[in-house]
Amino acid sequence: MTKPDPVLEVRDVTVHFKMRGGWLGEGGQTIKAVDGVDLAIGSGETLGLVGESGCGKSTISNAIVGLVPTTRGSIRVRGQEIVGASGKALRAARRHVQMVFQNPALSLNPRATIGAAIAEPLAVRGIASGPALREQVGTLLTQVGLRAEDARRYPHQFSGGQRQRIVIARALALKPALVVCDEPVSALDVSVRAQILNLLIDLQRRLGVSYLFVSHDLSVIRHISDQVAVMYLGRIIEHASRSVLFAAPKHPYTKALMSAVPEANPAAQRAKRRMVLSGELPSPANVPAGCAFHTRCPLASEICRRERPTLTPRQDGALVACHHA
Amino acid sequence: MSPAPALTVEDLTVEIDGASVVDGVSFAVGAGEVVALVGESGCGKSMTALALLGLLPDAAQIVRGRIVLDGVDLVALPERAMQRVRGSQLSIIFQEATASLDPLTTVGSQVSEAYALHHSVSRSTAWGKAKEMLTAVGIPDPELRLNQYPFELSGGMCQRVMIAMALICGPRVLVADEPTTALDVTIQAQILELMKRLVADRGTGIVLITHDMGVVADAADRVAVMYAGRIAEIAPVDELFARPRHAYTALLLAAMPSLDHEPKQALAMIEGKVPAAVDFGEGCRFAARCPIASDRCRNQQPPLLESGPGHRAACWHADRVAGLIGSIA
């Protein structure tokens, strides 16, 4: 989906991992973790990326922040190409993209105070030092609902939810245009999850930051996203605005995913006609030919086994990769 | 509820170093009934599960209460007798199915062993029983699977094997501790459907331990919401979601993004955090975080009081909870 002035533009991004083979490492399998993905995120917008284990949603977010090399494709941050960029250009572009991971305990150095953790990106780039740096750290902490005095404390003195706030403060330190959030609330209890979701939405309103929000949880995706992309085995199979996707899902996989998520409403849950998919998720090392979903799809026909469907626009603006939807 | 429940838990209290991590928990499970114990980290739901099976870690002890299965109090049972109960009349499955299976032994020998342990039968009879059971839990090509090792099976498949093992002796009650938490949603849907079908076909009672209100709504007949080691509220599933009578339940439901919640609108928050077991004090354990708490709540533990048919809530202000929902929605 094209945007007039996108913060992030991903074109045909492909990430393949070579597995080591047997004798002399020859004949190893290639895992097609991400295969020809296009994405665009506008300013102040949230793109939700949803899918199950192994669909490539974490790989693409890692590729966007440069943690995984791409095999092919282009990633532009505020118009600046970062694939193949180096030195100054890469450094400048990276400032605009920050990341928040699932497990905040593993994202923080246990031996550094949280003040030091948040100050580091600012100090490294020479943005602030001394009292000015301390003041900025204090501001960032209050921005995420902690106190400036907390800067002196260590990660273990905080709860899981508070640690995720600290990680968010650090991600915001350089005033990025985009924060990539990879399952940021999946390890948190329901009540804490609500606090972090509220915080992320509130920060977006105040700072105009964009999010790429990766999650396996459709109810969270629905709550936070403006646009939603659904991934299956390395490819986007449906991409639409939140309202269109949830009101009229088109790809059979999207429908199955929605019907599989149990709603916290017993009556609605009983009334729901559940579309239970048969079979297991194929391995990304062995993606089925044609449409990758055909092995589990109730609508699959001859053409699906032969020909890979491309994302094509529908009347309501949704992009769907299915021969029969 | 049926007149003679399969499992009755009365006033179960488990202590670790003098702190009651499970405190006065009572509930019953009828034949073919699914009772969910739901709550957040540290609420005591998993400790309750382990206590039922007599599998508590060394530091934890049952200091009070009864666990009555078919008229026998399991708390009073010596370990040898408990071993005969475990796996035959009462069994358990865990979240990490792959970690629960022995990686060095074939699926067939593990499942058939579960049967052979409690029945004096030949190896081939037990093997045949295992094959029958794998078929019952929807594993395609059971003959092949019996001869495979756990690493050759997916996570969803391993959980099916665990269920087959747990049900092979036809237990009265199955304790399922977060059985679908490690699985993808489409696989979770398959496992929940399977569990519901087995309950209906075999009349097994299930104690379903979960943190997921969606799973509760999908699979449970009755629900006990746990908070800080105690049952805050227990009710039939529809009743609980429609008319929560404990502030914690109401806030928990409002904190979840749901289909009838306007996107990007603030979710209800529960301020503060769960108190540590050593700081439980005399009053309601939720009082410090409760928006409608009064002095009475801080000083006096509310008992579970009847507030509807089969509906009991441990809240002094149960009649004000409906108003609380109105104010946060």
pLDDT tens for B147-171 read 999 999 988 899 999 999 999 999 9
Bridge-based pairing of strands B222-227 and B230-236 is antiparallel
Number of domains in chain B: 2
Instruction: Identify whether residues B101 and B250 lie together within a single domain.
Output: no
- Clarify whether residues B311 and B197 are in a common domain: no
CB atoms < 10 A from the CB of A160, how many?
Answer: 17
Note whether A260 contacts B188, CB cutoff 8 Å.
Answer: yes
CA–chain centroid gap for B102, Å, is 24
Q: Chain A 161-220, CB below 8 Å of chain B: which residues?
A: 161, 189-191, 193-195, 197-198, 201-202, 216, 218-220
Give the total residue count for chain A. 325
Kindly state whether residues B263 and B164 are assigned to the same domain: no
CA closest to B191 among chain A residues: A276
Q: Mind telling me how many Å the CA of A268 is from chain B's nearest CA? A: 9
Based on the domain organization, do B185 and B106 belong to the same domain? yes
pLDDT of residue A130 exceeding 60, the answer is: yes
Q: How far is A292 from A307, CA to CA, in rounded Å?
A: 10
Beta strands of B112-220 (E only): which ranges? 173-177, 205-210
In a domain, B317, yes or no: yes
With CA atoms as reference, report the closest residue to B21 among B252, B278, B232: B278
Domain residue spans in chain A? Answer: 8-96+176-248
Average pLDDT in chain B: 92
User: Do B211 and A190 count as a contact with CB atoms less than 8 A apart?
Assistant: yes
pLDDT tens column, B76-114:
999 999 999 999 999 999 988 889 999 999 999 999 999
Tens digit of each residue's pLDDT (9 = 90 or more) over A153-182 = 999 999 899 999 999 999 999 999 999 999
Are B123 and B104 contacting, i.e. CB atoms less than 8 angstroms apart? no
Residue B130: how many other CB atoms lie within 10 Å: 27
CATH topology of domain A8-96+176-248: Rossmann fold (3.40.50)
Which residue from B214, B87, B225 is spatially nearest to B162, judged by alpha carbons? B87
Distance from CA of B78 to the nearest CA of A (A): 37
A276 touches chain B (CB under 8 A): yes
Of B175, B202, B226, the last residue of a domain is B226
Residues of A whose CB is below 8 A from B268: 194
Q: State which of B196, B226, B256 marks the end of a domain.
A: B226
Residue type present at position A18: K
The 10s digit of each residue's pLDDT in A25-65 is 566 788 889 999 999 999 999 999 999 888 999 999 999 99
B263-302 tens-digit pLDDT: 999 999 888 888 888 888 889 999 999 999 999 999 999 9
- Higher model confidence: residue B328 or residue A239? A239
Taking only the tens place, the pLDDT of each residue in A276-302 is 788 788 888 889 999 999 999 999 999
Minimum Cα–Cα distance from A271: chain B residue: B218
Cβ within 8 Å, pair B261-A280: no
Task: For chain B, say whether A283 makes contact (Cβ under 8 Å).
Answer: no
Looking at the complex, report in whole angstroms how far the Cα of residue A217 sits from the nearest Cα belonging to chain B.
Answer: 8
| Together in a domain, B76 and B20 | yes
Arithmetic mean of pLDDT, B318-326: 85
- Fill in the DSSP letter of residue B132: H
Contacts of B273 in chain A (CB under 8 A): 159, 161
**Which of A189, A242, A263 lies nearest to residue B211, judging by beta carbons?**
A189
- DSSP, residue by residue, B201-216: HH--EEEEEES-HHHH
Q: Do the Cβ atoms of B190 and A276 come within 8 Å?
A: yes
Neighbouring-strand partners of residue A182: A214
Whether B142 is covered by a domain: the verdict is yes
A266/B238 CB distance under 8 A: yes
**Which has more confidence, A325 or A132?**
A132
- Do B192 and A262 count as a contact with CB atoms less than 8 A apart? yes
In a domain, B1, yes or no: no
Question: What is the pLDDT, as a whole number, of residue B262?
Answer: 87
For residues B15 and B149, membership in a common domain is answered with: yes
Q: Whose CA is closest to B246, among B317, B175, B180, B295? A: B317
For residue A90, the number of C-alpha atoms closer than 13 Å in the C-beta half-sphere is: 10
- B99: contact with A, CB 8 A cutoff: no
Same domain, B49 and B170: yes
pLDDT at A27: 64
- Does some domain include residue B311? yes
Contacts of A53 in chain B (CB under 8 A): 184
Whether residues B70 and B205 fall in one domain: yes
Residues B108 and B174 in one domain: yes
User: Given A189, A201, A269, which is nearest B40 (Cβ)?
Assistant: A189
Q: Which of B192, B252, B266 sits opposite A190 (nearest CB)?
A: B252
Residue B268 and residue B222 in one domain = no
**Domain containing B32: what range?**
7-226
β-strand pairing of A227-232 with B230-236:
unpaired
For residue A189, what is the nearest residue in chain B, using CA coordinates? Answer: B40
Q: Considering only CA atoms, which of A135, A96, A91 is closest in space to residue A115? A: A135
How many interchain CB pairs under 8 A, A with B? 123
* Element at A72 (helix H, strand E): strand A72-77
Q: Which residues in B lie closer than 8 A to residue A215 (C-beta atoms)?
A: none
> Which three-class secondary structure state does DSSP give residue B177?
strand
Which of 180-209 (B) contact A at CB < 8 A? 184-190, 192-193
Q: Of the candidates B184, B219, B257, which has its C-beta nearest A216's C-beta?
A: B184
Does residue B231 lie within any of the structural domains? no
| Token pair belonging to A157 | 């003195």
Distance from CA of B116 to the nearest CA of A (A): 31
CATH number at residue B214: 3.40.50.300
Q: Please tell me whether residues B107 and B206 are part of one structural domain.
A: yes
d(CA B270, CA B259): 20
Token pair for residue B252? 């928990």
Cβ atoms of residues B97 and B181 within 8 Å: no
Q: Give CB contacts under 8 A, 24+ apart, made by B195-198.
A: B195/B34, B195/B163, B195/B219, B196/B34, B198/B136, B198/B137, B198/B163, B198/B167
Given pLDDT bands bounded at 50, 70 and 90, which one contains residue A1? low
**pTM score of the predicted model:** 0.90
- Whether B128 and B27 share a structural domain: yes
% helix / strand / coil in chain A, to the nearest 5?
Answer: 40, 20, 40
The CA distance from A277 to the nearest CA of chain B, in Å, is: 7
Q: Is the CB of A198 less than 8 angstroms away from the CB of B266?
A: yes
